[in-house]
């Protein structure tokens, strides 16, 4: 049985880690390099680094900061934000990222997924999908959640898997930062309909939410930010609780 993964997420803006609620009202959460080092020491399974304003500001991800974070940790490291070309992916992988997360650019140019998977391998390509429920349908949003589309979450997830993505990072905008639990019904459907790993994001508030997303939501990994950044949940404690619930986890 594959072990479930716990993944802290560093949302980066202006070189600092930030966290908000429903993608707005951001507050400072500390130095990304120091936080990354702490999470590696706490036995996090992976780390995700998202330059959340790169696409909106039409600039590239902070490659120099990626290099510093990669040098500080010894766990797999995924980087996203502003990635729109094969060359962008190459630079980040050269600077120490193990995987890249592509969101808006993949929707605008789906062929980019095929090109990146062919050149770097599917295991390097994570497709991030931000979605919220509109008229009871999950609709994909772009540019850090600011631009709605008519694209259906499940249709898009199936397409990215067919195009060669290795994982999907699904963030429920309705749940983001609310600490009310993950979007488990949507996650379970994604897991049933798509044959690649699904990372749950948006809504973690307590340890039971992780138990629920691995059981009810069938998620392969769970990502969280503020509860880790502000010390509300410690990763070693979380992993022990998951193990007690007979959830396969790396201690």
| Annotation says 246 is catalytic | no
> How far is the C-alpha of 184 from the C-alpha of 187, rounded, in Å?
5
| Phi, psi dihedrals of residue 153, rounded to the nearest 5° | -50, -50
Tell me if 22 sits within 8 A of 197, measured CB to CB. Answer: no
Tell me if 204 sits within 8 A of 222, measured CB to CB. Answer: yes
> How far is the C-alpha of 224 from the C-alpha of 19, rounded, in Å?
10
The separation between CA 97 and the C-alpha centre of its own chain, rounded to angstroms, equals 14
* Contacts of 178 by beta carbon, 8 Å cutoff, 6+ apart: 21, 22, 202, 203, 205
> How far is the C-alpha of 218 from the C-alpha of 226, rounded, in Å?
23
Among residues 51, 88, 130, 220, which one is catalytic? 130
| Annotation says 11 is catalytic | yes
Residue 4 DSSP label: B
Site of tokens 């560093």: 10
Among residues 11, 45, 51, 176, which one is catalytic? 11
In the chain, beta strands by DSSP E? 5-13, 16-21, 24-30, 47-51, 77-80, 99-102, 125-134, 137-142, 147-152, 167-172, 198-201, 221-224
Tell me if 71 sits within 8 A of 37, measured CB to CB. Answer: no
Q: Catalytic residue numbers? A: 11, 130
């Amino acid at each position: 049985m594959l072990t479930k993964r716990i993944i802290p997420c560093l949302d980066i803006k202006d070189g600092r880690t930030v966290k908000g609620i429903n993608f707005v009202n951001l507050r400072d959460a500390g130095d990304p390099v120091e936080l990354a080092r702490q999470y590696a020491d706490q036995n996090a399974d992976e780390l995700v680094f998202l330059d959340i304003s790169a696409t909106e500001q039409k600039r590239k991800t902070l490659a120099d900061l990626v290099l510093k974070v990669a040098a500080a940790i010894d766990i797999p490291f995924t980087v996203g934000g502003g990635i729109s070309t094969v060359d962008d992916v190459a630079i980040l992988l050269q600077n120490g990222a193990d995987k890249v997360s592509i969101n808006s650019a993949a929707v605008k140019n789906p062929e980019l997924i095929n090109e990146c998977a062919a050149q770097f391998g599917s295991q390097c390509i994570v497709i991030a999908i931000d979605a919220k429920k509109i008229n009871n349908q999950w609709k994909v949003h772009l540019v850090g959640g600011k631009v709605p589309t008519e694209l259906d979450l499940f249709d898009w997830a199936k397409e990215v898997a067919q195009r060669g993505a290795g994982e999907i990072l699904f963030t429920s905008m309705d749940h983001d930062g609310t600490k009310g639990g993950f979007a488990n019904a949507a996650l379970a459907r994604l897991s049933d309909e798509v044959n690649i790993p699904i990372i749950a994001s948006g809504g973690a508030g307590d340890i039971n939410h992780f138990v629920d997303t691995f059981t009810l939501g069938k998620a392969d990994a769970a990502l969280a930010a503020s509860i880790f950044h502000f010390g509300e949940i410690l990763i070693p404690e979380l992993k022990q609780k998951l193990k007690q619930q007979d959830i396969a986890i790396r201690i």
